[in-house]
Amino acid sequence: MSAGSYVSAQATASAAARCGKCYALLPGDLCNRDEPIPCPSCGTLQMAWVFPAAARPHEAGRSGRTLLSDDQAGCFYHPNKQASVPCDRCGRFLCDLCDVRVGQRHYCPQCLDQPKEGMVNLQNSRVLYDKICLSLAVVPLVLGLFPSLLGAPAAVVMCFIFWRRPPSLLGGSGLRRLLALILGVVQIFCWTWFFYSKAGA
Amino acid sequence: MDNAYTRAPGSARIGRSRLLRGSDHLLSVTCPWYWPFVENYRRFFFRDIRAVTVHQTSTGTRCSVVFAILALALLPWPFVADDRWARLILVVPPALFMLALAFNIAAGPTCCCTIHTAVQFWQVGALTRVRQARKFLRAMGPLILREQQNPPAAPGPTTP
């Protein structure tokens, strides 16, 4: 199967792509082909695959239905609007205006603004504390022994403080953190023994 | 399951930018070059992807030229050295550059792959070779198309 053959004829000429370099509109009839086509604006050769979503019109904004009777639930944020769905995280009733769909889930604007750890699909960034801990334990050893006087305790303290923080979204166990903790403790033990023996001598 | 990600076909295994495939979306993971302890995520739901464009860039050719020049420039050094150990050491840099040149040529031409949605154009850093981009599209194209032709039934409005 050629790379372009899966794109159906539903992706019509009107559903054209834009040039990846200058963002000019590419001729729709030249898209979905295996061979590169020149951009009419900048002349860059490129391949463009257009999907049916390109022909889909923009979804009109929803305003929410007005609450008509007392036996209907109202929106948490707009009490005069009729609730249509509960938030999947906090459970608040939401009108069509406040309902934010992410994938197959519904969230309220507040939950979307402050995603918690359980809401994996809403997190836009993550600090990799396990990497920081391991770097603090290993890099001072590479730079020379003396930086580990600071690095090792810092690694151990950070391991304890951020022990429960999740690792990368791509996966990963607590192995890095455990390794950092072990390395840090060993270095602290070695330094203690060194200073103790010096003091004794 | 929300976080069951697998590497997207054709995307880079290592590097600052990676592309992963979720159940109904693609996840682009990037790390800033100046601070590798943070990961930034960007999601592209299959139903929202409007187009994917790939245009060839000259980065690969430039790298090949630089590697070739460096390899050729360093190649005579081992032959002019008198000492045996010096020869052995001096042969390493040109060999490494030749190896890099061979890898660069074998990997094929470089490209810039862009995912188009209704609101953004996102250059995918994990797809830097034309061959990778083609592989990615061969695998993901049918999935995106299937999702857009047969969208899963969204949980309809309920009456609380």
Q: B99 pLDDT band (50/70/90 cuts)? A: very high
List per-residue pLDDT tens for chain A, 201 residues long. 343 333 443 344 445 678 888 888 887 777 787 788 888 888 888 888 888 888 877 777 777 788 877 778 889 988 888 888 999 888 899 988 888 887 778 888 888 877 666 666 677 888 999 899 999 999 988 887 788 888 999 999 999 998 888 888 777 778 888 999 999 999 999 999 999 898 877
- For B55, nearest residue in chain A (alpha carbons): A46
DSSP-derived letter for residue A81 is: B
Q: Looking at the complex, does the CB of residue A46 fall below 8 Å from at least one CB of chain B?
A: yes
Task: Give me chain B's average pLDDT, please.
Answer: 86
Q: What is the pTM of this model?
A: 0.76
Angle at Cα B94 formed by Cα B89 and Cα B99, nearest 5°? 115
Give the pLDDT score at B158: 44
- Tell me the two tokens of residue A100: 């934010």
Q: Could you tell me if A15 and A52 are in contact, meaning their C-beta atoms sit under 8 angstroms apart?
A: yes
- Quote the ipTM score: 0.78
Choice between B6 and A65, residue whose per-residue pLDDT is larger: B6
In chain B, what residues touch A120 (CB-CB under 8 Å)?
2-3
Angle at Cα A130 formed by Cα A172 and Cα B14, nearest 5°? 55
Q: Looking at the complex, does the CB of residue A134 fall below 8 Å from at least one CB of chain B?
A: no
* Nearest CB to B53; choose among A8, A19, A121: A19
Coil, strand or helix: which one is A152? Answer: helix
Q: Looking at the complex, does the CB of residue A31 fall below 8 Å from at least one CB of chain B?
A: yes
Give the pLDDT score at B151: 66
Taking the CA of residue A185 and the nearest CA in chain B, the distance in Å comes to 22
Cβ within 8 Å of A, B 27-46: 27, 29, 36-43, 45
Lowest model confidence (mean pLDDT) among A53-67, B32-46, B144-158 = B144-158
Q: Three-state SS string across chain B, please?
A: CCCCCEECCCCCCCCCEEEEECCCEEEEEECCCCCCCEEEEEEEEHHHCCEEEEEECCHHHHHHHHHHHHHHHHCCHHHHCCCHHHHHHHCHHHHHHHHHHHHHHHHCCEEEEEEECCCCEEEECCCCEHHHHHHHHHHHHHHHHHHHHCCCCCCCCCCC
- Residue of B27, B39, B61, B144 to mutate, interface with A, max A Cβ within 10 Å: B39
Phi and psi dihedrals of A50, rounded to 5?
A: -105, 140
Give the pLDDT score at A40: 84
